[in-house]
Each structure stands twice: as structure tokens, then as C-alpha cells.
Structure 1
Amino acid sequence: MKPYTYLLINFLTIIICFIFSFDKRIKFNKHFPAFLKASILVAIPFIAWDVWFTAYGVWWFNTDYTTGVVLLGLPIEEWLFFICIPFSCVFTYFCLDKFFNLDWAESFNTIIVFVSVIVCVLVALLNYDKTYTFVTAVVTTLTLVFLHFFASVRWIGKASLVFFVLMLGFIPVNGVLTGSGLESPIVNYNSAHFLNVRILTIPIEDAVYGYTQFLLNIYMFKIFQRSANHEK
């Protein structure tokens, strides 16, 4: 079972959401094409980031927990991660937005963006020598600036609320990847390249990284959703 640990994590992350996608009240399966286009497009820069950091030694993978299939220096499980995790996140956002009125959270868009950008800029300036911390802070800043000031999206507050809910799943999943309950972590980090501030075993940068990836997946998903609706 040990070589299939990371694969099993991916499977357990997606399977319940995938099954409920076909529920008649949800019908998320109709949005599979939009999701796949969005997730693949967003995955491209994040996988490039992953490949770079792995080659540079910012992080590395414990092959005891993977099947041994490697592409561009990354385990195949890591590639699947960029489909499985976004699927569960986008599905959760879709359901919560569908069944609950979360529009009130839109009033927090500006404050969330400004506070987040200020914090990220300060963190980047004070930790320019820590690669993971610096790059994560810069990418998050650019993402929020783009979404708020250029794309003018109205759902950042709503998405931020949903991401807070998603942390209930993020902590156990990323916790296992970073060593919770295992003899050793699946993903290991070079302490010279991050703040060494952790949520249990999870580097704080992972949460910010996940937040940015989530926002971009929602943004692209909505674009392809609208495109599909216009084609009908």
C-alpha cells in the first residue's frame, strides 16, 4: 500500500465530489468540460513552478510513497494533484454558491484584496531570500491585483469564504502529504527556502499557494462556463 499512498490521497480527495457531481440537484457533470479546460490551463504555470522548485531543491518527493512513474522530475501523482484538488475545490464552491446565498461576502472584496496585498508585499520584501515564500507572496499579489483591478471580479469575498471552509479538508490532505500520520513526509521542504511557520505539519506558504490556485481556477472556470452557455 505504501507506494500507492499519494495516489490514494488523490483518489479520496476527488471520489466523493465526483459521485455527487451527477446528483440531479447539482448537475456539476454538465460543467466537466469547463472545469477541465480551466484546470489544465491553470495547471500549466503551477506545474512549471513545481518542476522548477523540485529541480532547484526547494522541495522534493519521497518516492517510497509514489508509484515511481515520473514526468519532468515530478511523480505522476503530483500531476494528478493539479486536477483532483481543483476539482474538489471548484465543486465545493459551485455547490455552496448554488445552495446558499453568499452574495453578502462580496462586500468584503476590497478589504480582502488590500489587506492581502499589503501583507504579501511586506512578506516578499522581508523574505526575498526565501524562494518559496517570496515567489508565493509575489504570485498571490499579482493574482489579487489582476482579479480585482483588471478583471473586476465581484466574487473574491465569496471565494475567500469558501476557501476558509475548504481548509477543513485542506488541513488533513496537506497534512498527510507533509508528514502527519506517516513515518516521513511525502513532500519535503528545504528549510532555507520558506518561513518554517507551519499549520501542524503544513508550511503556511502551502495555504497561500492553494488560495491563489483556487482563485485562478474559479476565474477560468467561470470564463469557460460563460463561453459554453453562449454556444448553446
Structure 2
Amino acid sequence: MLQYTYLLINFFTVIICFVFSFHPKIKFNRHFGAFLLAAFLVGAVFITWDALFTKMGVWWFNEKYTLGLKLLGLPLEEMMFFISIPFSCLFTYYCLDQFFRLDWKPIPEKIFVVVSIVMAFSIAAYHNERIYTCITFFTTALSMFVLYFMLNVRWIGKASFIYLILMPGFIAVNGILTGTGLESPIVNYNPNDFMGIRFLTIPIEDTVYGYELILWNLYFFLKFKTDE
């Protein structure tokens, strides 16, 4: 049964959100096409990043917990991760945005974005010798700059708050992936390539990596989504 562990993590991450997508008051199923376009577009970039880091030994996967099917050196379940996690996050964003007013006022949002960019760039520069830390914080800072100042999006504050709401789920999923409750981690990290700061078993970089993943999925989802 251990070989189904990562597969089941993906399944339980997405199944409740998927079922409720068809609820008549939500109707998220109308936007499956937009979601898939966004997920495949963003996933192509993040899977390439994932594959390169795996090849470089920045992280690796414990095959005891996977089916053994691979593409680009990644377990099939890791590919599914870039569908299941964005689906659950975007579904949650969609529901909360539909039923609650979570928009930020312009000034607080701009301050949040600017401070986040400065902090992320600073961390990337300070840890420039640690590739996972440096690349993750640098690209997240760059992503926020592009989204806010070049693409003119005004939902970063709201998305960040919803990402915070999703933290218990993130901790549960990433916690298991990084070894919480297991004899050994599903995903292992080279200690030379990240700061070594963990919440439980989760490297802090994973939280930032996930945040950037969701920002870009959300951007393209909203771009492709129609309201009919």
C-alpha cells in the first residue's frame, strides 16, 4: 500500500473540492476549461523547474511511496501535484470571492506588495549560494512585480489572505510529503540548497514556491474564465 501514498495525497487534496464544484450555488465546473488551460500553462514552467532541480539533486523522491511511473525524471504523482493543488486553491479562491468581500484597499495592498518584493529580493540576495532559496524568493519577487506593476492585477492582497486561510491544508499535504507521520519523507532536500528553516518538516521555501505557483495559476485562470 505504501506505493499509493503520494497518489492518495493528490486524490484527497482534490476530491472534496471537485465534488462541490458541481453544487448549483457554486458551479465551478463551468470553469474547468479555464482552469485546465491555466494549470497546463503554469505547470509546464514549474514542472520544468521541478525536473531540473531533481536532476541537479536539489531534491529527490522516495520511490517507496510512488507507483514508479516517471516522466522527465519525475514521478507521475508529482505531475499530478501541479493539477490537484492549484485546483483546490483556485476553487477555494473562487468560492470565497463569490460569497465574501475580501478585496483590499489600494494603499494597503500596494504597501504589502512592495514590502513583500523587497523582502523576497533581499532573502534571495543574502542566500545566493543556496539555489532553492535564491531561485524561489527571486522568482516570487519578480512575479509579484510583474503581476502588480506590469500586468496591473489588483487581487494580490486578497489572494494572499486566502492563501493564508489555506495554510492548514498546505501544512497537512506538504507535511506528509516532507515526512510528517511517515517513516521517511516522500520528498527529500539537499541541506546545502535551502536555508534549513522548517515549519514542522516543511522547508519555508515550499511555502513561497506554492504561493508563486498559485499566483500565476490564478492570473491565467481569471484571464481565461468566462462568466456565462
Q: Give the TM-score category using the shorter length.
A: over 0.9
Aligned to 2:99: 99
1:194-209 → structure 2 map (5 Å cutoff): 194-209=194-209
Distance 1:159 1:105 in 2: 13
In the alignment, the residues of structure 2 paired with residue 105 and residue 28 of structure 1 have an alpha-carbon distance, to the nearest angstrom, of 27
Instruction: Evaluate the alpha carbon distance shift between residue 127 and residue 104 of structure 1 in structure 2; reply closer, same or farther with a 3 A threshold.
Output: closer
Match of residue 13 from structure 1: 13
Aligned residue number for residue 90 of structure 1: 90
> How high is the TM-score relative to the length of structure 2?
0.98
1:108 Cα deviation after fit:
2.8
Q: Which amino acid aligns with 2:166?
A: L
The residue matched to 1:188 in structure 2 has which SS?
strand
- 2:141 counterpart SS class: helix
Equivalent-residue separation in structure 2 for 1:139 and 1:65 (angstroms) = 30
TM-score, normalised by the number of residues in structure 1: 0.96
Match of 2:128, SS state, is coil
Report the counterpart of residue 49 of structure 2 in structure 1.
49
Q: 1:117-145 CA deviation, whole Å, 9 max, x = no partner?
A: 11111111111100000000111011000
Q: Following TM superposition, by how much is the alpha carbon of 1:105 offset from its aligned partner in structure 2, in angstroms?
A: 5.8
| Structure 2 runs not aligned, ≥5 long | none
The aligned runs of 1:140-159 (5 Å cut-off) are: 140-159=140-159
Q: Which runs of 5 or more residues in structure 1 are unaligned?
A: none
Alpha-carbon distance, 1:44 to partner: 0.7
For 1:224, the equivalent position in structure 2 comes to 224
Map 1:40-189 → 2, pairs under 5 A = 40-104=40-104, 107-189=107-189
Residue aligned with 1:103, SS: coil
Deviation at 1:107, TM superposition (A): 4.8
Letter of the 2:66 counterpart = T
CA contact (8 A) 1:106 1:158 kept: no
Distance in 2 of aligned mates of 1:106 and 1:76: 42
**Counterpart residue identity of residue 153, structure 1:** V
Alignment partners' CA distance in 2, 1:192 and 1:108: 37
Q: What SS does the corresponding residue of 2:166 show, helix, strand or coil?
A: helix
Contact 1:106 1:155 in 2 (8 A): no
Paired residues, what number? 228
Q: 1:162-212: CA deviations, max 9, x gaps? A: 000011100010000000000000000000000000011000000000001
Q: Distance in 2 between matches of 1:107 and 1:158?
A: 13
Moved over 3 A (4+): 104-107
Does the 8 Å CA contact 1:178/1:201 hold for their aligned counterparts? yes
Structure 1 residue 89, shift from structure 2 partner: 0.3
